[in-house]
Amino acid sequence: MDESRTILEESANKLFAGFAEPALLRRVEAGEAAPEVWAAIEAMGFELIFSGASDDPWRDAAVILKACGRHVLPAPLPETLMTAALMQCAGLELEGVPKPVTLGAPAHTELALAEGGSVTGRTSHLAWGHVCTHAALPMLGQLVLAPLDGRSQGDRSIGREPRDSHVFVSVTPVASGPLNEQLFTAAGALMRAAQMAGAIEAVLEMTVQYARERHQFGKPIGSFQAIQHQLAILAGHSAAATRAADAAFERIAQSGGDADVMLFEAAVAKIRCGEAATAAASIAHQTFGAIGFTDEHKLHYFTRRLWSWRSEFGSAGWWSQKLGRSVAAAGNDAFWPMVTAAG
């Protein structure tokens, strides 16, 4: 990591750590607004990475997205970044559009063209929809940036993050451009994979620290071989998830945002990070024991989100099937070049 990216990582972690307090997270999970979080993000300009603020937006986005996961940031910065990335792929600019914004998934979006080019339909599972100004949505091979006008119905994910439903009635899009709808799912998968990688790093740190502090039979539980073995497995999953997420954004940056590369890397990253999330949550809760299940302890803010993020924009199983079919369709001769090209 070069010096400028190290500074970016340090700045993001320092800012986001201040918003990882249980009191604030409880407020947001209860449905209260936290405008101070987005105001601080805008003051740093993190939301503009794909809007001209960075010379290397994909690599910088990976740093920010992992930091969002590491501190379970209660704001739609990941969604804003990936919406801007998708608009760039569609030949559009997010500059001038009030933020934050979010993106919908093809599996949960049904839109149709109405008279005069307006849009009618609905979308659900829309992350942070009630606090966002616009949503990027798939429609008939197009990316449609539609204003969110208050017709949102609130809901929550298993992580207690906002996942809203929104109805559009003859809404005029502020922008539209050609985009394969599979890229919506790929962008969302990349976003959640990077967040999971960051959250797993935080879970590993918390679990190792607890194993050092918690004493049983007169010594730290981390000194017992069974616990050490589980912590080693957790550390391995954390390293693999981080590498999978970093490699995905690295290859996309090298390809200049190529659609095929994005789909392949999204599949690999979401599969590996999803598997790591399952193992990390299990090992952490086993190590913490009863205290890790209490509402007062902060562990659940991470594990609940890991369980939610691993299923959004395609689960590990869904992406495994998609990746397997694409490999089989390419034929025997294409398999090894595909593996080596991915590094």
pLDDT of res. 139: 94
- HEC string for 140-173: CCEEEEEECCCCEECCECCCCCEEEEEEEEEECC
pLDDT-flagged residues of the chain (< 50): none
Which residues in 159-168 are b (16+ Cβ under 10 Å) and which e? bbbbbbbbeb
pLDDT of res. 191: 98
pLDDT of res. 338: 78
Q: How far is residue 166 CA from its own chain's centroid?
A: 21
Specify whether the backbone of 140 is left (phi greater than 0), alpha (psi in -120 to 50) or beta: left
pLDDT of res. 150: 65
Tell me the domains of the chain and their CATH numbers.
Answer: 3-178 (no CATH), 182-341 (1.20.140.10)
pLDDT of res. 95: 84
Report pTM.
Answer: 0.96
pLDDT of res. 343: 59
Q: What phi and psi values does residue 297 have, to the nearest 5 degrees? A: -85, 145
